[in-house]
């Protein structure tokens, strides 16, 4: 039996063991693994989630029992200090020798610590292991007990931004220091980096670019950082996450060939300069590169296993560095060559500064193939784009549709169907799982659900970036076999939104923790928390204030966050009708607080540039003048637009203003799966653009025509006729039924137009339910709406009258100081945020 020793029990070392343990020739090998840390291998990709877990064991890739069951000797807390290549044995720090036939170096990398004077002071940490995170957490708590809240992170790359988010979640005021002139310089171009920076700074994390740290200053611990440009930054702790260095010291000591800048040289078999020793993961120098992603490391582990078992598998000649992740709540992705610039390439760019979205794709000049791309703020198209790129698939006739047409819609549209992918298409890069393997696991009967597929193939079990496409493949395969597919909210709730809505209502569940305890698992995530917040609001008509921690950021602060971190205030102006007195109040408030003022497309006035601490003061003045929150920040009714109708217009058939005001006053504050917009036009000339709304009412001879399920935006759609020639009361009745039915049955963040598209039977079925009452629930829907209407409360008024709620509107938790980082510049006698 051949002896295999693995030095390093990180993710890649574990993957080697897992692959060898599953190999048909497994019985020919005796496997021993040495790990310096005290615990078995754990998931470093999701290391930041450790702060939200009740046990580090939830990050484990496998328990100690797994090693025992697979007859692998695991020796944790042991360090290999020497490799004797001639005698083929290793020496531990306990002075024990172990012989090998094959040695696998999976020592990974260490955190790069710049040589800065004072770097050894108390309060300076690295961000690499669970023990590091424990130390950071304990020190942050100590600081907060002393009334100190400032933390800094050295490094603006992937790990640096994760560390910054971790510090922020620990309640620290966080700054990011980056030597380069932009964030994530290896993955993002300047425009994408600027967008990411703006998104991060809007959440209260300050970014300092082009900074070269010279000295860490302090007496008993860090107090400030001095930079070479003679500026300084006050801070109470520093987390260093400025890159990695290969752990190649054992290789150097034993005489293996290493690179000038570190790393153990390997060929495409993963062999080092000694054919009995292999190197895999971040310690391996392959094609003159060190690869800090898990997918290449896993591929290296597979190659090494094949080589020592007599296989012929070789490492890919090029390494795909595509990534999709979420940094500080912001989606970021890149694939292929995102920076390519030459005469044979066309770059297509979409940028929406209001939404904080930047997308760029690079295509061949002849439009034949996709070469690379970058996404910030919305990476929902990543899996589709990556498959088009990696499989060199034919692009649509209009390639711009790849980032415009599918934005906010079906990620599969450019492919037609995920089943159209070739069977060889690699869906999960981390685990090297193909489309064919996923589909075969279903069609063979071995698996019958997404969970089964993950257990069988391990697809999406590592970074999770491919989960949406794996889900699509599983669902599409099941549907092709005639099986019903159930769509769930997320991994924490095995229910659709409709099912969860019914459970919450049936059991009178009032908060997220109760829902999780009764019908979920784990701790929840950024997907299910806002969904539950929406469900609670839709059922109980509660405001966003009661459960602020689970709301989206805009709902949490009852205002829309703008690109420079300021906020906009939009009071409700029902139907667009406003008295001169109220109009003057808006002008006075805007002048007093120096706000940029604009009339919106929904016939309201938007006041931009308010600082967080100013919001309650502005709201109070508006409320005193008779205004209410316009819910411009919420997934709720925004506006009901109107023309002047028969009151003034010579073409008007009915009083559209009065009816629009009645409708808006009735449904104001109504929370729903997505935002709602309405319109009332006084004649078929349609000046209120009612058919471009989620519901629209148009005056005709004999009453009102009611249209539903339209929207503007990137994929505009006209609303369709639900009923015609209705009197006021019948129109309201049908609207009540329609809105409650939509709220009950729509998926999260699904607007009425795509909801209708997916509703079996379409508009004909909807007419039967709403108009004909085919399900016999008409009165129930009306009663439910009436109850919601009676429960309405203004969120702004509620917030300013509660001292505890008012604490949310302080820029700093430990100080009454204002945020002086906001910079505005003049624009047409008003102001705007300083351009990026």
pLDDT at 572: 93
| Per-residue pLDDT tens digits for 56-104 | 888 899 999 999 999 999 999 999 999 999 999 999 999 999 999 999 9
pLDDT at 682: 94
- E strands present in 243-285: 244-246, 264-265, 277-279, 284-285
Determine the length of the chain.
Answer: 836
Contact 178, 139 (CB under 8 A): no
Judgement on whether residues 148 and 6 belong to the same structural domain of the protein? no
DSSP secondary structure string for all residues of 325-366: EEETTEEEEEEE-SS--STTEEEEEEEETTTTEEEEEEEETT
On whether residue 658 sits in a domain, the answer given is yes
* Burial class of residue 268, CB neighbours in 10 A (0-12, 13-18, 19+): middle
Contact 585, 618 (CB under 8 A): no
pLDDT at 273: 96
**361 Rama class: left (phi>0) / alpha (psi -120 to 50) / beta:** beta
Query: Of 205, 224, 242, which residue is a domain's last?
Result: 242
pLDDT at 409: 38
On whether residue 383 sits in a domain, the answer given is no
Residue 244's CB is within 10 A of a number of other CB atoms, namely 18
**For residues 49 and 45, what is the distance between their CA atoms, to the nearest angstrom?**
9
On whether residue 545 sits in a domain, the answer given is yes
Range of the domain at 719: 557-790
Judgement on whether residues 606 and 751 belong to the same structural domain of the protein? yes
pLDDT at 64: 94
Q: How many structural domains compose the chain?
A: 4
**For residues 198 and 186, what is the distance between their CA atoms, to the nearest angstrom?**
18
Judgement on whether residues 501 and 630 belong to the same structural domain of the protein? no
Judgement on whether residues 609 and 727 belong to the same structural domain of the protein? yes
**For residues 404 and 674, what is the distance between their CA atoms, to the nearest angstrom?**
20
Judgement on whether residues 614 and 749 belong to the same structural domain of the protein? yes
**For residues 300 and 429, what is the distance between their CA atoms, to the nearest angstrom?**
12
Judgement on whether residues 84 and 34 belong to the same structural domain of the protein? yes
Contact 377, 331 (CB under 8 A): yes
Q: Specify the CATH number for the domain of residue 262.
A: 3.50.50.60
On whether residue 266 sits in a domain, the answer given is yes
What does pTM read for this prediction?
0.62
Query: Of 556, 586, 606, which residue is a domain's last?
Result: 556
Contact 555, 536 (CB under 8 A): no
Instruction: Return the bridge partners of 239, or none.
Output: 125, 153
pLDDT at 324: 83
On whether residue 117 sits in a domain, the answer given is no
Query: Of 541, 556, 571, which residue is a domain's last?
Result: 556
**For residues 442 and 480, what is the distance between their CA atoms, to the nearest angstrom?**
11
Contact 564, 198 (CB under 8 A): yes
What value, to the nearest 5°, has the Cα angle with vertex 519 and ends 513 and 521? 70
488 backbone dihedrals φ, ψ, rounded to 5°? -105, 160
Reference 291, options 322, 331, 332; nearest CA is 322
Residue 705's CB is within 10 A of a number of other CB atoms, namely 21
Query: If DSSP codes are grouped into helix, strand and coil, which group holds residue 442?
Result: helix
Judgement on whether residues 296 and 223 belong to the same structural domain of the protein? no
Judgement on whether residues 131 and 268 belong to the same structural domain of the protein? no
pLDDT at 552: 83
Instruction: Return the bridge partners of 402, or none.
Output: none
pLDDT at 411: 36
397 backbone dihedrals φ, ψ, rounded to 5°? -60, -35
Contact 691, 718 (CB under 8 A): yes
Judgement on whether residues 550 and 655 belong to the same structural domain of the protein? no
Residue ranges for the chain with pLDDT beneath 70: 54, 405-416, 563, 714-715, 812-816, 818-821, 836
Judgement on whether residues 90 and 55 belong to the same structural domain of the protein? yes
Judgement on whether residues 667 and 544 belong to the same structural domain of the protein? no
Contact 689, 716 (CB under 8 A): no
On whether residue 397 sits in a domain, the answer given is no
**For residues 50 and 39, what is the distance between their CA atoms, to the nearest angstrom?**
14
- Structure tokens of 228? 């070479």
Segment (H or E) for 32 = strand 29-35
H-type alpha helices, 541-579 = 553-557
- Structure tokens of 22? 């599953």
On whether residue 17 sits in a domain, the answer given is yes
Burial 136-174 (b: 16+ CB within 10 A, else e): bbebbeebbeeebbbbbbbbbbbbbbbbbbbbbebebbb
On whether residue 814 sits in a domain, the answer given is no
- Structure tokens of 277? 């020793």
Judgement on whether residues 647 and 525 belong to the same structural domain of the protein? no
pLDDT at 408: 37
């Amino acid at each position: 039996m051949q002896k295999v020793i693995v030095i390093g029990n990180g993710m890649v070392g574990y993957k080697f063991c897992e692959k060898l343990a599953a190999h048909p020739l497994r019985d020919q090998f005796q496997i021993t693994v040495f790990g310096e840390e005290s615990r078995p291998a754990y998931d470093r990709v999701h290391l930041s989630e450790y702060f939200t877990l009740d046990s580090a064991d939830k990050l484990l890739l496998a328990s100690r029992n797994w090693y025992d069951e697979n007859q692998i000797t695991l020796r944790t807390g042991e360090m290999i200090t020497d490799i004797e290549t001639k005698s083929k044995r290793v020496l531990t720090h306990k002075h024990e020798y172990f012989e090998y036939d094959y040695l696998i170096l999976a020592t990974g990398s260490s955190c790069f610590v710049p040589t800065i004077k004072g770097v050894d002071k108390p309060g300076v940490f690295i961000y690499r292991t669970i023990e590091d995170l424990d130390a950071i957490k304990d020190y942050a708590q100590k600081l907060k007990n002393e009334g100190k809240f400032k933390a800094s992170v050295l490094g603006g790359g992937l790990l640096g931004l994760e560390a910054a988010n971790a510090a922020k979640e620990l309640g620290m005021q966080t700054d990011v220091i980056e030597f380069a002139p932009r964030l994530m310089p290896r993955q993002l171009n300047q425009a994408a980096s600027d967008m990411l920076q703006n998104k991060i700074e809007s959440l209260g994390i300050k970014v300092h670019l082009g900074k070269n740290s010279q000295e860490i200053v302090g007496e008993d611990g860090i107090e400030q950082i001095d930079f070479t440009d003679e500026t300084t930054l006050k801070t109470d702790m520093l987390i260093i996450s400025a890159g990695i260095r290969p752990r190649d010291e054992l290789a150097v000591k034993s005489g293996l060939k290493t690179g000038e800048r570190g790393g153990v040289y390997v060929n495409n078999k993963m062999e080092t300069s000694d054919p009995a020793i292999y190197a895999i993961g971040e310690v391996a120098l392959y094609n003159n590169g060190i690869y800090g992603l898990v997918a290449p490391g896993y591929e290296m582990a597979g190659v090494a296993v094949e080589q020592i078992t007599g296989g012929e598998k070789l490492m890919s000649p090029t390494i795909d560095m595509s990534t999709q992740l979420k940094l500080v709540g912001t989606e970021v992705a890149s694939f292929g060559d995102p920076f390519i610039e030459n005469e044979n390439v066309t770059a297509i760019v979409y940028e929406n500064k209001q939404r904080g979205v930047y997308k760029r794709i690079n295509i061949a000049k002849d439009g034949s193939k996709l070469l690379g791309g970058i996404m910030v703020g919305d990476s929902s198209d990543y899996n589709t784009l990556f498959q088009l790129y990696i499989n060199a698939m034919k692009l649509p006739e209009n390639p711009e549709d790849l980032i415009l047409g599918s934005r906010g819609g079906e990620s599969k549209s450019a492919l037609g169907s995920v089943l159209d992918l070739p069977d060889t298409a690699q869906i999960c890069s981390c685990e090297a799982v193909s489309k064919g393997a996923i589909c075969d696991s279903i069609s063979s009967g071995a698996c019958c659900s997404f969970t089964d597929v993950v257990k069988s193939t391990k697809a999406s079990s590592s970074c999770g970036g491919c989960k949406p496409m794996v889900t699509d493949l599983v669902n599409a395969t099941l549907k092709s076999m005639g099986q019903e597919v159930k769509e769930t909210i997320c991994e924490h709730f095995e229910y659709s939104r409709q099912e969860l809505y019914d459970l919450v209502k049936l059991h009178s569940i009032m908060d997220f923790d109760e829902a999780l305890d009764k019908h979920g698992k784990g701790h929840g995530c950024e997907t299910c928390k806002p969904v539950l917040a929406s469900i609670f609001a839709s059922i109980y008509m509660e405001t966003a204030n009661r459960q602020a921690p689970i709301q989206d950021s805009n709902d949490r602060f009852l205002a829309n966050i703008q690109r420079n971190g300021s906020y906009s205030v939009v009071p409700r102006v029902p139907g667009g009708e406003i008295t001169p007195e109220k109009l003057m109040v808006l002008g006075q408030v805007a002048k007093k607080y120096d706000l940029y003022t604009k009339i919106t497309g929904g016939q309201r006035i938007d006041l931009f540039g308010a600082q967080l601490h100013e919001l309650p003061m502005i709201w109070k003045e508006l409320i005193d003048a008779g205004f209410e929150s316009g819910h411009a920040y919420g997934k709720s009714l925004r506006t009901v637009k109107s023309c002047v109708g028969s009151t003034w217009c010579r073409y008007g058939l009915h009083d559209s203003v009065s009816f629009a005001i009645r409708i808006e006053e009735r449904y104001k504050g109504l929370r729903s799966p997505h935002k709602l917009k309405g319109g009332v036009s006084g004649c078929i000339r349609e000046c209120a653009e009612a058919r471009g709304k989620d519901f629209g009412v148009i005056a005709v001879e004999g009453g009102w025509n009611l249209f539903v399920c339209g929207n503007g935006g990137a994929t505009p759609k006209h609303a369709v006729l639900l009923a015609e020639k209705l009197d006021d009361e019948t129109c309201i009745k049908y609207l009540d039924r329609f809105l409650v039915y939509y709220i009950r049955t729509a998926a999260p963040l699904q607007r009425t137009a795509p909801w209708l598209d997916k509703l079996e039977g379409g508009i004909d079925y909807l007419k039967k339910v709403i108009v004909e009452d085919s399900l016999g629930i008409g009165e129930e829907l009306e009663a439910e709406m009436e109850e919601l209407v009676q429960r309405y409360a203004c969120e702004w008024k509620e917030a300013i009258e509660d001292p505890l709620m008012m604490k949310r509107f302080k820029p700093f938790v430990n100080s009454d100081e204002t945020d002086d980082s906001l910079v505005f510049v003049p624009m047409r006698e008003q102001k705007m945020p300083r351009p990026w």
